[in-house]
Amino acid sequence: MSLSITALLNYFNFQSTYQSARKSKFNVVGEDTMRAIEFGINLGVPLKGLKNSKEIFERVRITFPEVSGLFVIDTNGVVFFENSISDSLRVMAIEWVRSQGEPVHYTGLKYDLYNSLNVTVGHLVLWYTPKGDTDPVQAMGLSMILYQFGIIVVCSVVLFVGVPIIFAHLSRQLKWLQYSLNVDSTEEQYVDDDVIAFRDVTTHALSEIEQLEKESEEVDE
């Protein structure tokens, strides 16, 4: 159980560290993309007219294939520019922009786009895949299971060998006791005085009964 809890803790710790590291990684990409778009806005180009956004998005997605979607959305939730692998990301991006409570997305980043007067004119939403080509979280989980299994096997062997050795003396004493308690046994390995007394009392009681039995038979005859 100890190993399982440690394994679980390690796995979940790694999962959350991995998620935050991944967020931090795509935050660098997102901030660069945001700056590139804001450069155009600061030149006085309206959000709708930022034609180079398409080009920027394409370049970003080629350089970072794990970026699954990029959207420029105005404050009303209208999408002006996008480059994504699926329509569902578009819907999610619009919902995110429109939502009041700022829900946390584990695989998304949202940036406010400001004009030169520091007024929010729209938003940039970046989606990324939860994992790269390989899934280190899964690999970590598998390693934890394998290590756990290996150690449990070793511990079982150690316990299997160790416990009988620890109780060897008690076990031997109990065997002696088993023979000694048998009143017909001729074993001489008494464990202690109480057992000798037990045998004496039992043997005596049995012989008394035997005597009574004999007398009873004699009466019958």
Partner 1 sequence: MNNIFSPIKLTLEQSAQLGTKRIILFSIAVILGASLLFSFLAQREFKSNLIEQLQGNAHVVGVSVESTLLKNIYHGFTLEEQRGVKSYLKKKLRHNIEIAAIQLFTVNHERILSVSSDSLFISNEIGIDEKNIVEKEIFHNEQLQGYVTVVISETYLNEKIDAITYDILTVMAISLLLTLEMVLFITGVSVAAPVASIRAIVKKVITKDFSSTLKSTSGDEMGWVAQSLNSAIGRVVSAYSKISRGKGSNKKIEAFKQKYALPESTEPSAYFKVLLGFFRPTLFMIVFAEALSMSFFPLFVKQFTQGMTSIPNEILVSLPISAFMLFWAISIPIAGIWSDKSGRRKPMATGALFVAVGFVLTSFASSFTMLIASRAVSAVGYGMVYIAAQGFVADNTTQKNRTAGMASFISCFFSGALSGAAIGGVLVDRIGYRSTFYVSTAIALGAMFFALKFINSPHIEGKSVDNKFSIKNFLMILSNKKFLSLLIFSSIPAKICLAGYMYYIAPLFLNTFGINSSSVGRFLIAYGLSMVIISPLSGRLADKTGNKHYYVLFGGSLAGVSLCIPLFVQNEFGVLMSILGLGIAHASSMSSQLSLVLGMFKDDEELGAGAVIAIYRLIERIGNIAGPLIAGVLIVTHTFHETAAMIGVGTTIGALINGLVFYSRKSGGAHD
CA–centroid distance for 148 within its chain? 13
> Per-residue string for binding with partner 1, 137-176, x by CB under 8 A?
--xx--xx--xx--xx-xx--xx--xx-xxxxxxx-xxx-
Instruction: Transcribe 145-209 into DSSP letters.
Output: HHHHHHHHHHHHHHHHHHHHHHTHHHHHHHHHHHHHH-TT-------SHHHHHHHHHHHHHHHHH
Q: Report the nearest approach of partner 1 to the CB of residue 216 (Å).
A: 3
Site for partner 1 in 44-63 (CB under 8 A): 63
Q: Report the nearest approach of partner 1 to the CB of residue 84 (Å).
A: 20
Q: Report the nearest approach of partner 1 to the CB of residue 113 (Å).
A: 18
CB-nearer residue toward partner 1: 73 or 140:
140
Site for partner 1 in 68-127 (CB under 8 A): none
> Interface with partner 1 includes 2 (CB under 8 A)?
yes
Site for partner 1 in 170-209 (CB under 8 A): 170-171, 173-175, 177-179, 181-183, 191-192, 194-195, 197-198, 201-202, 205-206, 208-209
Which residue has tokens 């100890």? 2
DSSP code for 129:
-
Per-residue HEC secondary structure of 55-92 comes to: HHHHHHHHHCCCEEEEEEEECCCCEEEEEECCHHHHHH
